[in-house]
Structure 1
Amino acid sequence: MDMVFEALWSHAAERPQTVAFSGDGDSLTWADLAAEVTALAARLDGAPRTVGIALPGGCAYVVADLALTLTGRRQVPLPFFFAPEQIAHVIKDAGIGALITAPETAGQSALPEIPLSLSHTDAAALPAPTSAASKAERIIYTSGSSGRPKGVVIGSSQLQASLNALLPVVAPTHTDRHLSILPLAQLLEQICGIFLPILVGAETRFDFNATRTLFGAEIGPLTAAFARERPTTSLLAPALLGRWVQDLSSKDGRAPNSLRFVAVGGAASSPALLHAAEAVGIPAHEGYGLSECCAVVAMNRPGHNAIGTVGEILEGLDVQIIDDEITVAGPTVMTGYLNGDPPPARWHTGDLGRIENGRLIVDGRKDALIVTGAGRNISPEWVEQRINADPRVVSSALGLHQDGSLVLVVVAAAPISSADITAALEGIPPYAQPAAVIMTSPAEPGLLFAAGTPNRGVAARIIKNRPAQPLSQTAESLAS
């Protein structure tokens, strides 16, 4: 990670007044950023080894991340979208000794706090920092299916390997402008929204109102942010891409022609959605990865977008399909789970897939596989992709009822008819066709993870406890 700081100090010296990060009322030039990171690093002298970042995002988060990395500490993002019991678990499990907080939220924790406000300190008045970045670690907690998510330990060597592999894929330059939509607590946004831009001297802009759309808020702020900022790159979850496509289509609008690369991941994207995005000018490129492998394993490249695949495998990774499961070996595989054993030399992802013509195709989760009473194996993602391509649908989950029938839980942001659902499933063989549907909303407690993927445990309880409507009711409109 030392190369990130070498790039930062270089930009601060050569382009001190050029804006590096901005948005939500804050703005940092390269000189400002270098000074803020240096100042916070000095304040961290004597701080505990493990520090939590209790900031929702934005410029202050960038400073916190970089200062903790520079001082060789173990940082733990506390996602703003986690439930209080999940936050409590993370703090205890990671052994967090202090929190970096915003001044307006200071005093809300029993832990020692380090309030961070951006004061635009004069870098010339500060001693030159000594880098311990090679010793830094970050603990990424995924949402999990309960209040006890696991912490994935990512060291500087994994991050550096990931950056080296992604640079030729994303091909960023100093002329790029990245619009950061996904939360910075997520590893992929840290990589693409902080580190890649710093390496090449590109600008990143934040808009927290646009980020809120990921959690069911109105889509208007996201559409407006893209139109206003005119970025060249961004990251989106498939559900968010679908809502943006619908918003543009309903207004005969188009995405800004400044866009050259929009990475889509975190859940499966249907080819229909990606083609619809292409039709309104969104250069959506599906990729695949997981936190345990430093966020990205394969990605479609600009100019080489093969819809229906997640693209070519990153340079330096050895991906093999073993018993239909995607396995990964290489320098981006995590140090291990926190408080757990070191990972095996080859990481078994739990995802089913295959490699065709040098490109990876993901078929679904191994542990989500449905086995029907007739002995048929069904990857629910295969069916769900068809429904999720409809921009009115935020997400969906296929499950098995106690009576042996397949039931589809549909999370809808707008009314959708059962006739539309039936039409979307045309071509799915009878053994995989759901017999009934249960409609719910994005506000359903615990049903959706941050990436928009369904919590299948919650979906199973919904299928067990709620009445379903037969899909033969093609004339009836089903409200969200």
Structure 2
Amino acid sequence: MQPEGLRAILRQHAGRLPQPLALRGDTRRYTYTQFLDEVERREALLRAEPEAVLALALENGPDALLWDLAALLAGRPCLPLPPFFSPQQRAHCLAQCRVNLAVADSGFSAELEAAGFQPDGHFWRRTVNGGAILPAGTAKVTYTSGTTAQPKGVCLSAESLLQVAGELEAASRSSAPAHYLAVLPLAVLLENLGTYAALLAGACVTLLPQRQLGIQGASGVDWPKLLASVVLSGAQSLILVPQLLLGLVTAIERGHLGPGQFRFVAVGGARVSPDLLARAARVGLPVFEGYGLSECASVVCLNRPGANRPGSVGQPLPHVRVRLAEDGEVLVSGPVLLGYLGEPPFTGPWWPTGDLGEFDADGYLHLRGRKKHQFITSFGRNVNPDWVEAELTQRGTIAQAFVHGEGLPGNLALLWPLDPACTDQVLADAVASANAALPDYARVRAWRRLEVPFSTADGLLTANGRPRREAILARYRSTLLELEHEVEP
């Protein structure tokens, strides 16, 4: 589907009687007619501006979706800035995309001013020499959540984005959810496409600021506030990461709300434990696990009504082909990235995902972990432990650090100090100092002091001093399990 196809569908919804509601914010509501009018008004403003990337530094709310769709219809590449990134990471995104035009909330004013922007009417502006060199056809630059200190910009076409949104709408169509609540930030590509899918279906999208929902940063959740928002919104459909699904299931188990309002709850972004899926099934919550990555326009496989196998991530959606390499790596062909920003365009037939998997006899994909050492937290954030360990060990206090967070709500660390006589408070201060330099999804939430350092002699270090991760996980399994309880919500 091309953007004009989306426009035509929105017009069809606007022609229905009675006039359906398209979008709700904390104080504003739009019918489909009003919604399309507002999108096209912003589209006209963008078409009057010189061609360049538009950055959106906006909290979840009507303006974020209206400007996002305006950019899509205007053919202007759009860069949504993730609120869970650190200011330094957002500055990197602005610099790499050579952004000279932005729409921003007041909370981002100081960052934009520091980057040389000035407010001017609807926009923030600055002068840059030359624009970013984007792959032809780029409609959106979505940054990965940062496997290193400098996240990478994934360039995607409008056709790919809308094709995936269409498949998401088709997958949930039999459930007919009429009210969709956006829980994740719109800068998360999966949530962005979730709102598109809801609009394609003619549903009503509710977009509230993250703090109003009770969500702070990448991992802080005020559960009573979030659950109240879910109930009051009348949400019938949600997209959740595992940690949020855990909170919803626990609340239903405790009788704080019932499962009856929900028709389709998608979960992805990180591994989901079979136990959690079983608990969701026992309380009657219609949960469907999926799998994807930004480089493949977010969604590759998805369980759905009539084709749901808990423990798998579902069968590949119709728009992609998926096969396994000889070593079990998942390879995807279909709507994949045009390229990374600043790198040559991607022209290969198969995208290597870095994930290991296997198909069962009925074509359901079961994931078996990552090829490399990077892990994904239970909030769906990619973290390379080398990055965090470097922050911990390059501040003059900590000699060795091992960081683990796969599928967890907070990262754990095992530490050995440079001075074995230093106090635990000195180590705590060093961890706090490192955390201050990291975005919240990469910070260490709990740590334990080692009794002896890692060494090559005990098989925990390679010959060049790198940690043997699997060996450390096996040796310190009980210690890490104890630490997990310290970061449980």
Shorter-chain TM range is 0.7 to 0.9
CA contact (8 A) 2:145 2:381 kept: no
Structure 2 counterparts to residues 274-313 of structure 1, below 5 A: 274-313=277-316
**CA gap 1:235/1:410 in 2 versus in 1, 3 angstroms:** closer
TM-score under structure 2 normalisation? Answer: 0.73
Report the counterpart of residue 129 of structure 1 in structure 2.
none
**CA gap 1:211/1:363 in 2 versus in 1, 3 angstroms:** farther
Report the counterpart of residue 354 of structure 1 in structure 2.
358
C-alpha distance in structure 2 between counterparts of 1:396 and 1:93, whole Å: 20
Report the counterpart of residue 471 of structure 1 in structure 2.
478
CA contact (8 A) 1:216 1:443 kept: no
| Matched AA of 1:363 | R
Structure 2 residue corresponding to 1:111, chosen from 114, 117, 125: 117
Secondary structure of residue in 2 paired with 1:445? helix
Report the counterpart of residue 147 of structure 1 in structure 2.
149
Structure 1: which 5+ runs fail to align?
118-133, 370-379, 415-437
Offset from partner CA, 1:292-326 (integer Å, 9 cap, x none): 00000100012332111000101131111103100
Report the counterpart of residue 130 of structure 1 in structure 2.
none
C-alpha distance in structure 2 between counterparts of 1:237 and 1:100, whole Å: 27
Shift of 1:66: 1.0
| Matched AA of 2:435 | P
Shift of 1:240: 1.3
**CA gap 1:102/1:280 in 2 versus in 1, 3 angstroms:** same
Secondary structure of residue in 2 paired with 1:20? strand
Report the counterpart of residue 226 of structure 1 in structure 2.
230
CA contact (8 A) 2:59 2:185 kept: yes
C-alpha distance in structure 2 between counterparts of 1:265 and 1:114, whole Å: 39
C-alpha distance in structure 2 between counterparts of 1:65 and 1:170, whole Å: 23
Shift of 1:2: 1.7
CA contact (8 A) 2:177 2:264 kept: no
Name segments (4+ residues, structure 1) moved above 4 Å: 103-108, 112-117, 172-175, 393-402, 404-414, 441-444, 446-450, 458-470, 472-480
Report the counterpart of residue 365 of structure 1 in structure 2.
370
Report the counterpart of residue 21 of structure 1 in structure 2.
23
Report the counterpart of residue 248 of structure 2 in structure 1.
244
Shift of 1:3: 1.4
Offset from partner CA, 1:209-237 (integer Å, 9 cap, x none): 32616521311122112222222211000
CA contact (8 A) 2:356 2:367 kept: yes
Structure 2 counterparts to residues 51-450 of structure 1, below 5 A: 51-102=54-105, 108-109=112-113, 110-113=116-119, 137-171=139-173, 176-193=178-195, 195-207=196-208, 208=210, 209-210=212-213, 212=215, 215-249=219-253, 251-323=254-326, 324-330=328-334, 332-343=335-346, 344-356=348-360, 357-368=362-373, 445=435
Offset from partner CA, 1:100-127 (integer Å, 9 cap, x none): 123676585332546659xxxxxxxxxx
C-alpha distance in structure 2 between counterparts of 1:476 and 1:51, whole Å: 43
Secondary structure of residue in 2 paired with 1:100? strand
| Matched AA of 1:202 | A
**CA gap 1:350/1:42 in 2 versus in 1, 3 angstroms:** same
Secondary structure of residue in 2 paired with 1:189? helix
**CA gap 1:43/1:96 in 2 versus in 1, 3 angstroms:** same
**CA gap 1:459/1:397 in 2 versus in 1, 3 angstroms:** farther
Offset from partner CA, 1:138-184 (integer Å, 9 cap, x none): 00001213331100001112113213433321227876111110110
Shift of 1:345: 1.7
Secondary structure of residue in 1 paired with 2:372? helix
C-alpha distance in structure 1 between counterparts of 2:200 and 2:248, whole Å: 30
**CA gap 1:479/1:106 in 2 versus in 1, 3 angstroms:** closer
| Matched AA of 1:310 | V
Shift of 1:31: 1.9
Shift of 1:205: 0.9
Offset from partner CA, 1:349-380 (integer Å, 9 cap, x none): 000111112100111110028xxxxxxxxxx8
Offset from partner CA, 1:36-66 (integer Å, 9 cap, x none): 1122122221244211001012111111001
C-alpha distance in structure 2 between counterparts of 1:313 and 1:477, whole Å: 33
| Matched AA of 1:158 | S
Report the counterpart of residue 9 of structure 2 in structure 1.
7
CA contact (8 A) 1:395 1:411 kept: no
Larger mean Cα displacement after TM superposition, 17-26 or 63-72? 17-26
C-alpha distance in structure 2 between counterparts of 1:42 and 1:91, whole Å: 23
| Matched AA of 1:329 | S
C-alpha distance in structure 2 between counterparts of 1:302 and 1:162, whole Å: 18
Report the counterpart of residue 461 of structure 2 in structure 1.
none
Structure 2: which 5+ runs fail to align?
124-135, 390-397, 411-427, 453-474
Report the counterpart of residue 43 of structure 2 in structure 1.
41
Offset from partner CA, 1:234-270 (integer Å, 9 cap, x none): 1000011112222333x33443412111110000001
C-alpha distance in structure 1 between counterparts of 2:330 and 2:140, whole Å: 25
| Matched AA of 1:169 | A
C-alpha distance in structure 2 between counterparts of 1:472 and 1:461, whole Å: 11
Secondary structure of residue in 2 paired with 1:14? coil
Secondary structure of residue in 1 paired with 2:246? helix
**CA gap 1:53/1:241 in 2 versus in 1, 3 angstroms:** same
Report the counterpart of residue 417 of structure 1 in structure 2.
none
C-alpha distance in structure 2 between counterparts of 1:111 and 1:473, whole Å: 45
| Matched AA of 2:344 | D
TM-score under structure 1 normalisation? Answer: 0.74
C-alpha distance in structure 2 between counterparts of 1:410 and 1:447, whole Å: 21
